[in-house]
């Protein structure tokens, strides 16, 4: 939650700093970034540009303040764009391309682009399942694609049961309507859990996938010689490297 201090600077989580808490400043040594102020008798409303001290990206705040001159005697932060919402932790061994796609889905969620977020979270699931040797049939619901994952013991029965509820209805091909935000929050957390199941203890998961005959070279349709990675080395399926 963004907050404003006595100097008029704002503390908020920056989307361009991967959600880290940062200070947004309204001026630098030699310039003020700009503002429009609507002055009333008792208080003024200021639309002000800010800059992240960490990465330099811009932001806009609407601040109500009392007193004749900015930053005034008292300040109330009305709105602040753009502020990153909470970012879910992801497994360290998760391929960067999947991390990027998951984070982009979270950005869509921040911006209220719920259908876009839904499409990206589902895309993350399809890509990691493919990368781990599962055949995706586009004609079947995505929740059904997790049947064999559960049979292989990669995900728990409880997670499998939840899949039908969370992934049950794919609205992307429907006429335009906005899915409830609560459904997107559930999908985000479910996707994160699947990523943890597949990548949190990667060496153990690789052994389970190998036992199940899932890790195959997609180009040659031949089994890939997989061995547990040595300590400190990450295992990435070829299709995600």
Q: Half-sphere exposure (CA, 13 Å, Cβ side) for 235?
A: 23
Sort 191 into a burial class: Cβ within 10 Å, 0-12 / 13-18 / 19+. Answer: buried
Q: How far is CA 32 from the centre of its chain?
A: 32
Of 192, 169, 191, nearest to 180 by C-alpha is: 169
One of 11, 23, 27, 54 touching Zn ion (CB under 5 A): 54
Which residues, numbered 99-158, are part of the site for Zn ion (CB under 5 A)? none
Q: How far is CA 193 from the centre of its chain?
A: 13
Residues that bind Zn ion (rule: CB under 5 A) add up to a total of: 7
Sort 175 into a burial class: Cβ within 10 Å, 0-12 / 13-18 / 19+. Answer: exposed
Q: For Zn ion, give the closer residue by CB, 19 or 71.
A: 19
| DSSP per-residue string spanning 3-34 | EE-TTS-EEEE-GGGTT-EEEEESB-SS-B--
Q: x/- site string to Zn ion, residues 6 to 45, per CB under 5 A?
A: --------x-xx----x-----------------------
Q: For Zn ion, give the closer residue by CB, 22 or 191.
A: 22
Least Å from the CB of residue 119 to Zn ion: 26
Q: For Zn ion, give the closer residue by CB, 52 or 149.
A: 52
Question: Interface with Zn ion includes 53 (CB under 5 A)?
Answer: no
Least Å from the CB of residue 55 to Zn ion: 3
One of 4, 10, 52, 109 touching Zn ion (CB under 5 A): 52
Kind and range of the H or E element at 58? strand 58-66
Q: How far is CA 83 from the centre of its chain?
A: 13
Least Å from the CB of residue 127 to Zn ion: 28
Which of the ranges 50-58, 80-88, 120-128, 176-184 carries the binding residues for Zn ion, by CB under 5 A? 50-58
Residue 142 CA to residue 170 CA, distance in Å, equals 8
Least Å from the CB of residue 17 to Zn ion: 3
Q: For Zn ion, give the closer residue by CB, 36 or 55.
A: 55
Positions that interact with Zn ion (CB under 5 A): 14, 16-17, 22, 52, 54-55
């Amino acid at each position: 939650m963004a907050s404003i201090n006595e100097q008029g600077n704002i503390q908020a989580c920056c989307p361009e700093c991967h959600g880290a808490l940062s200070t947004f400043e309204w001026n630098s040594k030699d310039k003020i970034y700009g503002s429009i102020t609507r002055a009333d008798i008792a208080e003024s409303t200021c639309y002000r540009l800010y800059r992240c001290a960490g990465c330099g990206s811009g932001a806009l705040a609407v601040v109500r303040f009392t007193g004749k001159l900015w930053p005034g005697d008292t300040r109330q932060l009305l709105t602040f764009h753009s502020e990153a919402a909470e970012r879910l932790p992801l497994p360290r061994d998760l391929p960067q391309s999947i991390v990027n796609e998951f984070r982009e889905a979270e950005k869509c969620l921040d911006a209220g682009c719920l259908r876009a977020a839904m499409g990206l979270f589902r895309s993350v699931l399809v890509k990691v399942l493919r990368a781990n040797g599962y055949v995706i049939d586009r004609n079947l619901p995505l929740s059904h694609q997790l049947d064999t994952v559960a049979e292989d013991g990669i995900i728990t029965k409880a997670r499998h049961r939840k899949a039908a509820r969370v992934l049950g209805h794919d609205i992307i091909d429907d006429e335009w309507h906005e899915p409830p935000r609560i459904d997107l929050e559930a999908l985000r957390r479910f996707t994160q859990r699947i990523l943890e199941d597949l990548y949190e203890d990667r060496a153990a998961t690789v052994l389970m996938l190998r036992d199940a005959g899932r890790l195959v070279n997609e180009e040659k349709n031949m089994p890939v010689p997989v061995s547990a990675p040595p300590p400190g080395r990450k295992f990435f399926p070829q299709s995600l490297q």
